Homo-oligomer: A and B are copies of this chain.
């Protein structure tokens, strides 16, 4: 097998590919052989570089938008660039400092903290940023309460140890008195304290037999309430900031694709899908262009990471931007923010 078609690139080709990616990310314009030798001290002539570029094009790492234009990285080119990137990429000091500053101030309101984290990530990277709240279903119940509402309804509230409040409205029969609700709350608390939210429905249903005649129906109602929205995991809260960056500059060529990307960002399901492998893979995961499962996202790259305390991942966060992005800085920023966020939550004892 001749070296040209070997999947492993020669060192020089890799060097040239990296130079092409760097330069294209910076300028947004197709990169020619001449600027490469001039700006990147390759020590060879443009002609040689051209030969190598032809090989890189054969390998699918770069392409020409039209004959006699410079080269642009393909998704595979970016992929190689990202995979071969030196691990310990460090953020510029100013940005690292901003992140530290941000997490130094105490933030007690979880939801607001997560929203602000999304805003921070967006402004660090200049891309749209999204932060998913800690998954509710694995959180442990700290306290539950049934509160009567007008209109024959009651509200079932569950406070988790992550500091989130999950609430559902249930319809209660007319003959239920407020005192019954209080009694039921007390009983539910005994049963549910320390139970994971995802197990709550089953637990309550199991114990419904053991409680007094008057409380049993309320237990069943509560079980329904816990069950209902659990199956739609899409129910998770998330915080999206910096959508307007999607429109930025010239990075997305046509309006229609911008429209579709922004539309996609509004759908929890898609976003969840997109950030899904941050969970499974661990560490910072990068999806480049067509690597994205969602049709609408195939012009974007997604950089995502889980965050959590110690081993367990609580949630995930990430950014969505054009394939032409500064992966080093973006990855570093996502990494840094996710680990700081994890530490902050740990500090809250979550």
Contacts and interface: CB of A to CB of B under 8 A. Distances in A.
Given A243-B262, A247-B258, A247-B259, A348 B153 contact: yes
Interface of A: 108-110, 142-143, 145, 147-153, 155, 157, 159, 161, 163, 165, 167-171, 229, 241-244, 247-248, 255, 258-260, 262-263, 266, 347-350
14 contacts: A108-B168, A109-B168, A142-B147, A149-B348, A149-B349, A151-B349, A153-B163, A153-B348, A153-B349, A157-B157, A157-B159, A165-B165, A241-B266, A243-B243
A348 B153 CA distance: 8
Contacts of A165: 155, 157, 165, 167
B148 A145 contact: no
A266 B151 CA distance: 34
Given A168-B109, A169-B110, A244-B260, A155 B159 contact: yes
Contact of A143 (B109, B147, B258, B263): B147
Nearest to A350: B150
Nearest to A181: B143
List the 3 closest pairs (A to B, CB-CB), nearest first: A151-B349, A150-B349, A108-B169
